[in-house]
Amino acid sequence: MQAKSCLEHCPALANVEFAAIALSQLEQLSHWAELRARKRTAVRNRTRADEGRPQFAYQGHSAVEHLRAFLSFAYKLASGDRTTGVSENIAIKMSRFPRPDVQKRSYSAERLEEVWRALFTSGSDDVELDVRSRTATFLGASG
């Protein structure tokens, strides 16, 4: 079985000249990229679940963002090279996903103690000396 180009599976841009691409075709391509990313993550999550590992939470948005950035750069190059028929960067008109709110998280006291213990007690046999010297170095570097 011979590998095929990804574009052969997406009818949005079959054999269309770059200058003739419509915004609706770019939107169709972005939906295809999102679907491919979701399918790939689903397969990876199945494998991870079988191995007892945590699964990825992924909606395919970054695949669309990367595609949009690539297309925008391609249009920028084409307009800079004065490619016939390319007068504007239509990729910047593609729809965007809203960014999720930032979720601030902190370590619990137990988890922080575990991190500090691992950080400062690995190395030599004199744990107390390690903790004092590394804490002084750490606090001195950040202050």
Backbone phi, then psi, for 15, in 5-degree steps?
-130, 45
Query: Among 4-18, 48-62, 78-92, whose mean pLDDT is lowest?
Result: 4-18
* pLDDT computed for residue 6 by the predictor: 60
- Could you tell me if 35 and 6 are in contact, meaning their C-beta atoms sit under 8 angstroms apart? no
- The pLDDT tens digits of the residues spanning 33-42 come to 899 899 999 9
Percent of the chain whose predicted confidence (pLDDT) is above 90: 15
Domain ranges of the chain: 1-98, 107-143
More confident residue, 19 or 130: 19
pLDDT score at 43: 92
Highest mean pLDDT among 4-18, 35-49, 55-69, 101-115: 35-49
* Confidence class for position 49, pLDDT limits 50, 70, 90: very high
Distance CA 90, CA 61 (A): 19
Which burial class, exposed, middle or buried, applies to 56 when counting CB atoms under 10 A from its CB (0-12, 13-18, 19+)? exposed
The pTM of this model reads: 0.59
What average pLDDT does the segment 3-26 reach? 72
Report the C-alpha gap between 114 and 117 in whole angstroms. 5
pLDDT tens-digit readout, 123-136:
666 666 666 666 66
- How does residue 47 score in pLDDT terms, banded at 50, 70 and 90? very high
